[in-house]
Amino acid sequence: MAREYGTSVETTASPDKVWRVWSDMTTWGDWNPNVSTMEWQGGFVSGSAGVMNTKAGQHHNMQLVDVQPGRGFALLTKVVPGTQFRFNCRIEPAGAKTKISQMVEVGGPLGPVMGGMLGPQVSKEFGTLLSNLARKAEST
């Protein structure tokens, strides 16, 4: 298994509230600093696919996998040739709070070579993104 890079935050929002925000891709541009819009077909279910349009003007083809309502999901994308990025997004009860995590694994033929460089770079904004997600969930 590839090494994961990422972070977690805790929120007072319930796991259900976090899930409602995270699984509604129409809101991603509200709290994710990189996303302008998500063009998605097939709903928030394993195997559905679409395009993430970034504020930097990039367009990433993505696929949802391992969707477990209320608990987590993963997004797969190829950004750099020879690699596959898997974003593991998790929601876990943590006492009176909810722990939300986002990690990235860099796989593919060049994953073992590129992961140590790309993983920390890709994951550096996860803390901001998760804090924004937590705030949005707390206010809904």
**What DSSP line would sit under 68-111, residue for residue?**
ETTTEEEEEE--STT-EEEEEEEEEEETTEEEEEEEEEEESTTH
In a domain, 137, yes or no: no
Structure tokens belonging to residue 27: 């809101």
Sign of the CA dihedral 103, 73, 69, 53?
positive
In a domain, 139, yes or no: no
pLDDT at 1: 54
DSSP state of 6: E
**Contact at 8 Å (CB) between 65 and 74?**
yes
In a domain, 98, yes or no: yes
Domain of 31 in residue numbering reads as 4-128
In a domain, 134, yes or no: no
In a domain, 135, yes or no: no
pLDDT at 85: 96
Residues 87-129 have pLDDT tens digits of: 999 999 999 999 999 999 999 999 998 999 999 999 999 999 9
Structural domains of the chain, count: 1
pLDDT at 140: 87
CATH number at 61 reads 3.30.530.20
In a domain, 138, yes or no: no
